[in-house]
Structure formats: structure tokens, C-alpha cells
Amino acid sequence: MLYLELFLQGLLQGSIYALIAVGLTLVYGLLRILHVAHAGLYTLGGYFGVLVYNSSGSLMLSGVVAMFGVGILGVIIYRLCYEAILDQPPFVPLIASIGLFIAMEELYRILFGSYGISYANPPLQQMLPLGGMYLREGEWVTILVSIILIGGLAWLSSHTRLGLAWRATVTDPQMAESFGIDPIRVRYFNFFIGSALAGTAGMIVGILNNLVEPTMGSVPSYKALAIIVLGGLGSVRGTLVAALALGVVESFGTIYLGNVLNRDAIAFVFLILVLMVRPQGMFRGI
Amino acid sequence: MSLLDIRNISVRFGGVHALEEVSLNLNQGEILGLIGPNGAGKTTMLRVITGVVQPNHGEIDLEGEMLNNLPIHARVRKGLGFAQQLVRPFREMTLAENVALAAGAEQTRHPWRSMFRVERRNALQESLKWLAMVGIENAADSYPNAVPLGYLKRMEVARVLALRPRMLLLDEPLAGLNQVEATAFADILVELKSQGQTILLIEHNLAEVRRICSRLVVLDNGCKLAEGSPETVLKQPSVLEAYIGQGTVHAEN
Amino acid sequence: MGYEISLLTFMGISIIGSLSLNLITGFCGQVSLGHVAFVGIGAYTASILTKADTPFFVALLAGMLLAGSFGVMVGLASLRVRHDFLAITTMGVNFVFLGVVRQQEWLGGELGVSSIPDPGLGKLGFLALVLGCVILVALLSLQIRRSWMGYVFEAVSGDEDTARMLGLDVSRYKLIAFALGTALAGLSGGLYAHHVRFIFPDSFAFVESITLLAMVVIGGNGSILGVIVASALLSVLPQWFQFIGDYKLLLYGSLLFIVMRFSPGGLAGLAKNIFPKSKKAFALKGNQ
């Protein structure tokens, strides 16, 4: 039973990682940018969630704001920050993005205080037994939301014109353009979807921890990078598997290696080991 | 006299035979043309020679010394000079600096010692000589982004020559050039040959190949199809057949 | 006076740290996001040794050696993974270093190492030592850049595959860049530990790696003078102006972003655009 519980906890953590990392891998697949500031948007999702909920009391409304507000902000970040430096060597957007992320975190600290904000009436905290497993409502919701959003994304990309345009642009931007696809709109769409997922993940984690603090994105940001690298950089499927795998590895690792390494170090030991064996990550391609 | 001996090379990618028991040798002072339709295995053969691809079977010898286990830079140090199909100049360096880096091969042979070697003037002087040989000394101080493709292709050859290689291995050097440029470029190769340079030429431009090569080896589907003087080889119906199958006769000429 | 001396010492240590990163990232083009791990290895090694009564200079040297050895290991990793993969791997190295140090009792765990012995040079003497090291490291950087080694580094940073085609032993050159850069990071770590006399894991957190990288790229990736100027400014500004202190990270973050967004060549690139003739003094890479 302990194993099963550890495994489920790992999957839960993994599905949160997946929500964050999918956006990151979408951006990388399209633009070859390691978009570290993505985690800043994740944190913002947490703030939108808690602030709107505390003032309106509607979980639905705060979810919508976290998703769409952060999505739109993601597009704005692309427009203002990345568009002009796409043709620079890769370290330029990477470092710009790290700078942006640090500045965002500091801005949250200055605006909302360094101690964080909690939900006034914490929602979704009831224990809910299902199939013999005891998880909180929020945790079940997390798993459900991850499946719905990522499943929806998969459906979108394989069953709609927009998805087709998107896949074509990722494969070969010039080819896509000659089919009349506007690459700029695809990029906006890309940033919108990716950021909206991150915003949702931020809100979910805010609810689960009942705390939103300025630095809540720090660890996920770097871990999400590790995940997309593990997944083969740019491969959505690889990213999903890597996210879940990392969640499970961490979950078991903290039990069995906890006195040698902390949780974050385990993630990166795993990353470095995998990269040494497979320098291109676990998966290649889309 | 045989300089480079390639014996019974086989390469498999998954279940596909990219090369099947191909042997060829490159003799001192000749221009050997390695031709064949697209997908015949020419590029794979070049990759085997550079060491990017490890053959499943077979041996590459340079005057009796086996090269199979050497990394690419060591093969270059032994006298193999490669020019890539896509020109890849160092874009932060002028053309002269690009060539001088190769001309200074002695300065860079031992990494730690290279820290104490400062003098670059001789190498730069020498680079001008090589640039002049390929006819672009007027662009010595230009950056790669400021010169046309034909210049970059010549710079690439000058850069390889500056290594003073015992043989040149050229991968489709005429691709992307118009007929006038291609002929001028081929003439440079003839000139180099007359100075004793050994050249292995992978090329699609059959007119130029026929004009300048001493000998041809034809690959098709990973196997050696024919070998001999250009006149006899290009007359063989099987060679023509291979090209027709691919439709490249029209496409490439 | 004591305060100014301490400030200058700190500035010098920062310059050594950023120049050491500049060897790897600026000269050789291998972006490292975990450089402070090697500063940390130098700091921990040197301070544990001096606490065990090892002479200061021996301890300093040992810290350099150990940092350099780990650096070669990361260099070996860089032979397998490239570009973005390498950046993330080096970032991982920083987190693994922290993860290990935090859990080790004999390294002081979360509390770190305190009451590190005074090297006995006096405040001015220590400053002189640090400035001497700064000059040596700067001279070494200059020598590398004007030598054939620097020429090869430039080629490796531009296009590794082509460099190999020219008979250059790219792997060895990269390892040398990592060995030198990380050993010098170890030096700055040993000096740092004996300057503040108290170190703990957070002194070597990931954000400090970013700080070092900020100094390099704001100065102008590869430009020695630019990097020195940027590190001097960025290390001292927050201390001089207390009101910046609270906003130090906001300043770093914004500066990193603004410089990359509007002048990817850093200060050196900016100077080159304003005074085209000063090209040599600011010799710069990564920018046409």
C-alpha cells in the first residue's frame, strides 16, 4: 500500500509538472527558446486564483481569470520580450528570460509581500476516498484537470485546422508559410495555450498548498527545464512521460535517498544520469 | 601508388544497407570522381572516411595505417582534408582569419602549448597565398556575411589547402554554383592536380566530372556499380540506367 | 576605511569569479548556468582545510585543484551534450552541489562552516592578495585571447564541427576551458570564504550563478574589460546604495533582461557601437 500511495503521490506531482512543462516545451518546439520566465506566469496564475477567489468567492471565476489572464500575458511577453531577439544566439533569449523571471519574482514580492497569501476559505480541502485511496478533493481535481487539459490539447492539435497549422509550423515554418499559415498567429496561439496551462497549474498548487508566495515558481521553473530536456526538448509526448516519471522518481527518492540528497537534487541527478546515457533526452521528435 | 585504401566497407542503418562491401582506392596525384544517383551512398562513404559514421565492416587505410578508430581531427592531422557540402565559415572571423586558423595547424596541435604561441602574422600571410590560389585574395578582410556563396566555397577550399593535406575530399563543391562559376571552380581543381594534389570528388555535375576526373567510381544502392576512366564508365548502359531510375540526369544538368 | 577595504576585496573576488566564467562561456562558448558550484567547492575545501590547520595558501591551492577536477568532469559532460542541453546540465550541477552540501553533517549542513580562520595577512594584506589575483587572472585571460588557444576557442564557440574538420582537438580544448575556468572559480571561492569567514549553502545558490553570468553578459560575453567593469559595478552598487539592497535582485533581473533585449553584446557591444575605433580594447564576440 505504501508503494501504491507513493506512486500516486508521484503521479499527482508529475501531473502538476506536466501542466507547467508542456507550455515550456511548446515554446521550445516552435522557437528554440528556453522560456524560464514561464514559471513567473505560473506564479501569477497562483496570485490571480487566490486574489479573485478571496474577493469574489467564486472558484469558477478565479479559474477563468487565472487561465485567460495568464494566457494573454504570455502572448504579451512574447511580443515585448522575445520577438526582437529570436535570431540571436540561443544564450541571449535564455539569459533574457532568466532576467525576466527574476524581475517578475521580485515584483510579486514587492507588490504582494514576501510572506504569501492564503485562501480565506480554503476550497477543495475535504478528504475524498475513491477506490480505496484517500486524497483531498483538490488532489483529485488536479488529476482530473490535468487529464482534461492535456487531453484537450492533444485533441486540438490533431483534430482542428488550428492544430494542423500549429504542427505544420513546428515541423517546418517555411513550408507552413507557403501553405498560407501565418506563423506569427501560431506563435501567439502557442504562447497563449502554454501560459494558460501554467496559470492553471499555479492556481491549483496555490489551492493545494493553501499558500501563494512570490518564490513558488523558483523550483518548478528549473525542474520544468529539466523535464523538457529529459523529454527530448520540444517533444510534447516526451515531456508528459518525463514529467510523470520525475514525479514518481522524486516521490520514491525522497523516501529512500532523503538523507543523502534533497528532493531537488534527486531530480537533477536523474537528469544528468539520463543525459549522459542519452544526450538528446529520452525522446526525440514530436 | 595508392594513398587511401578503402576496403570492403559495409554500413547498415537499422535494416537498410547504406553501403555493401564497397572498396575503392585513391591514387597519388589523381582526381577520383565518386558519383551516383541520390541515395547511392556517396555521402555515407564520405562520412565513413571522416569518421562520423562507423562502418559495420571494412577498413580504411592511409598508406597502410588503419584510420578506423581515429576521431575526425586526428584523421585531418594525418593528411585528410575535408570540405563540406554546405559551406560553414566561422562567421565571426574574416576570410583571411578563417584560413589562417588552418594554416597555423602546427600552433594548435598541442592544446596546452597553444596558450604560449601568440604570433599570428605568418599564418595570416600564408592565408593570403591560399586565398590568392583560389582567386579571392581581394576579399581577405571581408566577413563571410558580406561575400557571395561562390567566394565562401572557394574560401572553404583555401582553408582545407592551408592544412597542407595529402588529399582533398570534396563533397559536391559545385552545388549551388552557376555553370560559369562551376567551370571556374573545376579549373582550380585541375590546377591543384597539376601541382600534385590528390583529390576525391563527390559531384553531381557530370559534365564537369567527365571533364576533370582521372577516374570514376560509380555507386548505386550502396554497391559499387562501375569503375574506370570517365569515357568508359559513362558509356556503360547500367550507369545510365541507374541515373534514369532516379530521374537525376535532368534534374542535375 | 575598513568598510571600503572590505568592499574592494569583495569586488576583486567577484571579478575573479566572473572572469573565470568568461573563460568558459565568453571565450569557448559553453554556457554554464552552475558556475557558482565550483566557487562553492573551492570555498568549502579551503575553509575546511584551514580549519584543520592547513596553511592558507596550501588550502587555497587545494580548493582550486578540487574545483578544477570537478570542472573537468562537467567538461566531460559537455563533450556529450551541447548548447541548451549543456546549459541545463550545468544548472543541474548547481542544484546537485547544493543538495549534497545541505545534507552533509561534516560540511555543516544548512548551517554551513563558521569561524573560518583569519589567513593572518591583515585586511590590507588580504586586499593586496585579492587584487594581485585579479591582475593575474586578467593577464591570463589576455594571454589566452591573444594566443592560438584563444583563436581555437573562438572557432569552437562559433562552430564545433567545422573546428574538428580543421584538425582541432575540440574536446581537449573544451576540457582546458573548463579546467582553467573552474579552478579559478575555486580560487575565488577560497578567497571568499576567508574574506567573510563564514559560508553556508545559500552563499552558492543558483541565483549566485546567475549573478556571475549577469556580470559576464552585461559586460559583453568574451570581453575582458567589459566583464571587469560589469562585475565591479554589479558587486558594489547594491552595497553602496542601501536602498538598492532590497531591490538588488530586481535590479539584476531587469538589467539582465534589458541588456539582452536591447544590446546583446553587453557593455562592450554598446561601447563598440558608440566608439567604433575602440574595437580592439573591447574585442567582442557574439555580435557582428
In this predicted structure, the answer to whether residue A32 has a pLDDT above a threshold of 60 is yes
Residue B105 to residue C167, Cβ atoms within 8 A: yes
Q: What is the ipTM of this complex?
A: 0.86
What is the C-alpha radius of gyration for chain A, rounded to an integer number of angstroms? Answer: 19
Which of A92, A268, A279 has its CB closest to that of C81? A279
Query: How much is the average pLDDT of B226-234?
Result: 87
What residue spans define the domains of chain A? 2-123+130-277
Residues in A touching C234 (Cβ below 8 Å): none
What is residue B247's predicted lDDT score, i.e. its pLDDT?
52
Indicate the pLDDT class of residue A1, thresholds 50, 70 and 90. low
Cell (9 digits) for A204: 491549483
In this predicted structure, the answer to whether residue B252 has a pLDDT above a threshold of 50 is no
Q: How far is A82 from chain C (nearest CA, A)?
A: 8
What is residue C280's predicted lDDT score, i.e. its pLDDT?
42
Q: In terms of CA atoms, which chain B residue is nearest residue C287?
A: B92
Which of B111, B120, B163 has its CB closest to that of C166? B163
Indicate the pLDDT class of residue C217, thresholds 50, 70 and 90. confident
Q: Which chains are within 8 Å of C by 3+ CB pairs? A: A, B
Q: Which of B133, B151, B125, B252 is nearest to B189 (CA)?
A: B133
Q: How far is A59 from chain C (nearest CA, A)?
A: 32
The C residues from 69 to 88 touching B (CB cutoff 8 Å) are none
With DSSP H G I counted as helix, E B as strand and the rest as coil, what are the percentages for chain B, rounded to 5?
Answer: 45, 25, 30
Query: Most B CBs within 10 Å: which of C23, C142, C156, C168, as the mutation test of the B interface?
Result: C168
CB contact C279 to B (< 8 Å): no
Contact C27, C226 (CB under 8 A): no
Which of C95, C255, C256 has its CB closest to that of A265? C95
Q: Which of A277-286, B179-188, C76-85, C273-282 has the lowest mean pLDDT?
A: C273-282
Q: How far is C100 from chain A (nearest CA, A)?
A: 6
CA distance B112 to B48: 30
Largest CA-CA distance found in chain A, in angstroms, rounded: 57
Q: In terms of CA atoms, which chain C residue is nearest residue B100?
A: C151
Chain position carrying cell 573565470: C20
Q: In terms of CA atoms, which chain B residue is nearest residue C157?
A: B90
Which amino acid, one-letter code, is at C245? Answer: G
What is residue B223's predicted lDDT score, i.e. its pLDDT?
87
Residues in A touching C259 (Cβ below 8 Å): 99
Indicate the pLDDT class of residue B52, thresholds 50, 70 and 90. confident
Write the pLDDT tens digit of every residue in B217-228: 998 888 888 888
| Residues sharing a CB contact under 8 Å with residue B171, sequence separation 6 or more, in sequence order | B43, B46, B82, B83, B84, B85, B202
CA distance C76 to C70: 10
What is residue A282's predicted lDDT score, i.e. its pLDDT?
67
**Upper half-sphere CA count for residue C57 (Cβ side, 13 Å):** 4
Residues in C touching A230 (Cβ below 8 Å): none
Query: Most A CBs within 10 Å: which of C257, C262, C285, as the mutation test of the A interface?
Result: C257
Instruction: Tell me which CATH code domain B2-79+165-252 carries.
Output: 3.40.50.300
Instruction: Work out the mean pLDDT of chain B and round it to a whole number.
Output: 87
Residue B229 — φ and ψ, nearest 5°? -70, 150
Instruction: Work out the mean pLDDT of chain C and round it to a whole number.
Output: 88
Query: How much is the average pLDDT of C126-151?
Result: 95
What is residue A10's predicted lDDT score, i.e. its pLDDT?
87
What is residue C282's predicted lDDT score, i.e. its pLDDT?
39
In this predicted structure, the answer to whether residue C276 has a pLDDT above a threshold of 80 is no
Q: Which of B42-46, B180-184, B249-253 has the lowest mean pLDDT?
A: B249-253
Residue C96 to residue A95, Cβ atoms within 8 A: no
Residue A279 to residue C80, Cβ atoms within 8 A: yes
Q: Is the dihedral of CA B211, B212, B217, B219 positive or negative?
A: negative
In this predicted structure, the answer to whether residue A257 has a pLDDT above a threshold of 60 is yes
Query: Most C CBs within 10 Å: which of B52, B86, B99, B115, as the mutation test of the C interface?
Result: B115
Pick the most confident of B92-106, B163-177, C58-72.
C58-72
In this predicted structure, the answer to whether residue C160 has a pLDDT above a threshold of 70 is yes
Size of interface B-C (CB pairs under 8 A): 87
Which of C143, C146, C155 has its CB closest to that of B90? C155
Query: How much is the average pLDDT of A110-133?
Result: 81
Instruction: Return the SS3 of B23.
Output: strand
Indicate the pLDDT class of residue B76, thresholds 50, 70 and 90. very high
pTM to 2 decimals? Answer: 0.85
Residues in C touching B77 (Cβ below 8 Å): 167
CA distance A178 to C77: 40
In this predicted structure, the answer to whether residue C172 has a pLDDT above a threshold of 60 is yes
Q: In terms of CA atoms, which chain A residue is nearest residue C89?
A: A272
Write the pLDDT tens digit of every residue in B20-45: 889 999 999 899 999 888 878 888 89
Query: How much is the average pLDDT of A232-256?
Result: 83
Indicate the pLDDT class of residue A283, thresholds 50, 70 and 90. low
Query: How much is the average pLDDT of B209-237?
Result: 88
Query: How much is the average pLDDT of B125-136?
Result: 91
Residue B115 to residue C151, Cβ atoms within 8 A: no
Residue C169 to residue B73, Cβ atoms within 8 A: yes
Pick the most confident of A82-96, A151-165, A246-260, C53-67.
C53-67
Query: How much is the average pLDDT of B191-218?
Result: 90
Which of C154, C164, C169 has its CB closest to that of B111? C169
Residues in C touching A108 (Cβ below 8 Å): none
Query: How much is the average pLDDT of A216-242?
Result: 83
Residue A106 to residue C253, Cβ atoms within 8 A: yes
In this predicted structure, the answer to whether residue C51 has a pLDDT above a threshold of 60 is yes
What is residue C12's predicted lDDT score, i.e. its pLDDT?
96
Q: In terms of CA atoms, which chain C residue is nearest residue A102?
A: C253
Query: How much is the average pLDDT of C53-72?
Result: 95
Which of C144, C148, C164 has its CB closest to that of B104? C148
In this predicted structure, the answer to whether residue A279 has a pLDDT above a threshold of 80 is no
CATH 1.20.120 is the classification of domain A2-123+130-277: no
Contact A209, A221 (CB under 8 A): no
Query: How much is the average pLDDT of C213-235?
Result: 89
Query: How much is the average pLDDT of B13-25?
Result: 85
What is residue C13's predicted lDDT score, i.e. its pLDDT?
96
Full set of structural domains in chain C with CATH: 2-202 (1.10.3470.10)
Q: Which chains are within 8 Å of A by 3+ CB pairs? A: C
Query: Most C CBs within 10 Å: which of B75, B85, B101, B159, as the mutation test of the C interface?
Result: B101
Which of A91, A107, A261 has its CB closest to that of C31? A91
Write the pLDDT tens digit of every residue in C87-119: 888 988 999 999 889 888 888 888 889 888 888
What residue spans define the domains of chain B? 2-79+165-252, 93-163
Residues in C touching A269 (Cβ below 8 Å): 92, 96, 99
What is residue C285's predicted lDDT score, i.e. its pLDDT?
38
Residue C77 to residue A106, Cβ atoms within 8 A: no
Indicate the pLDDT class of residue B248, thresholds 50, 70 and 90. very low
**Cα separations (Å) of B103 from B83, B115, B122, C68?**
15, 17, 9, 32
What is residue A277's predicted lDDT score, i.e. its pLDDT?
79
Q: Which residues pair with B217 in a beta bridge?
A: B34, B227
In this predicted structure, the answer to whether residue A145 has a pLDDT above a threshold of 90 is no
What is residue A167's predicted lDDT score, i.e. its pLDDT?
82
Residue A102 to residue C81, Cβ atoms within 8 A: no
Residue B253, Cβ neighbours under 10 Å: how many? 11
Residue C176 to residue B111, Cβ atoms within 8 A: yes
Residues in A touching C207 (Cβ below 8 Å): 102
The C residues from 129 to 148 touching B (CB cutoff 8 Å) are 143-144, 146-148
Residues in A touching C85 (Cβ below 8 Å): 229, 233, 275, 279-281
Residue C260 to residue A99, Cβ atoms within 8 A: yes
CB contact C243 to B (< 8 Å): no
